Structure 1
């Protein structure tokens, strides 16, 4: 008798969710830096080496203490760049030149955090879709369910379930009305276990938005 296999989706602890599609990786399983935190099922899609996601997080120095925090079930396309606080130069002195990074004795002029325009952690919520060649600047917060159009430069916070794009990136519209957005933010389906997500996937993927209000427990 053939054994029946009960599958509730791909293994969130695998590098490649689909072994036949090697350009897609689950990010949390390829990062090595302690200051990058990524949730389950969030993927990066890049035919030039998705495993090298960390190369797209630039100017990220541990001594500054800022973190890149990305939630669950995010879809991140090729060409992403998260610019972290180490890219900032001091603005309250005669010159903005980063002498300290060049060495040769200049390192004694390293600025303190209080001398830099420090923006804090960069945070991407859950179920966020980021298109190709997007740049996210330091300290930006992108809300749950947001969509960022390709080639955008995100310089300010983007609210939950907004569609945003441009340089600088601006909100274009909301995906749903405020009532449904509030319901989804309270529902937090991304925190369900794999079995519950599988049982309710028809509602999650349906264009009939009222189905989500009839979810199975």
Structure 2
């Protein structure tokens, strides 16, 4: 995993742009940042990443190979300490606000079968239950967790500390563990 510890001088910015050429000039990254699989990660214009982010696109793990994708839409704002892990796909829409200490993943270590319980978690094959999609103008509050296979509709709010295990319709506020709808911002479609 490559770690960048200083963007404060022009030389560091040049190095980051060489390593991560699809990072737009209008994007701001506060340090430190840890990124794995730069070539699988795309970032839209005018994004902001606070310090301590860990963004991992795993193309291999042990003897397995993957085709990961992580995409951040334009004007996404991340407060810091975001941890995203992908072996499949994590897509973040445009104008998304992500609080501190958020975790988003499309995979787990193993598939929770009885057979795999005899294997140390770190030695289990990575397993994805599906891609993660976060729509436009979503607000993900601090310490939220978004698990594999979840789709979050545009304009929704994910409450602080929520553990999102199922899809969230557009225009909803969810909270809790597991997250449940606590409010419809817009009436549900008829």
| Cα pair 1:153 1:166 within 8 Å, conserved | yes
User: Aligned to 1:90, which of 111, 117, 120?
Assistant: 111
Check the 8 A contact 1:89/1:97 in 2, yes or no.
no
Give me the CA root mean square deviation.
3.2
Q: Which has the larger radius of gyration?
A: 1
TM-score (norm 1): 0.54
- Structure 2 residue corresponding to 1:14, chosen from 13, 17, 26: 26
Structure with the higher strand share, 1 or 2: 2
Secondary structure (helix, strand or coil) at the match of 1:96 reads: helix
1:177 CA displacement:
2.7
Cα distance in 1 for partners of 2:47, 2:93 equals 15
- Give the 5 Å matches for 1:100-115: 101-102=122-123, 111=125
Bigger proportion of residues as helix: 1
Matched, 1:44 2:78: yes
Residues in 2 aligned to 1:37 and 1:141: alpha-carbon distance in whole angstroms: 14
How many residue pairs get matched? 138
The answer on 1:57 being equivalent to 2:84 is: yes
Give the aligned partner of residue 95 of structure 2.
73
Per-residue displacement from partner, 1:48-79 (whole Å, max 9, x unpaired)? xx6xx4xx014x3xxxx411111000000001
| 5+ long unaligned stretches in structure 2 | 1-23, 31-45, 58-67
Alignment of 1:63-212 (within 5 A): 65-85=87-107, 87-99=108-120, 101-102=122-123, 111=125, 116=127, 118-178=128-188
Q: Mean Cα displacement is larger for which, 87-96 or 67-76?
A: 87-96
Which secondary structure does the structure 1 equivalent of 2:115 belong to?
coil
Compute the TM-score of the two structures, normalised by the length of structure 2.
0.61
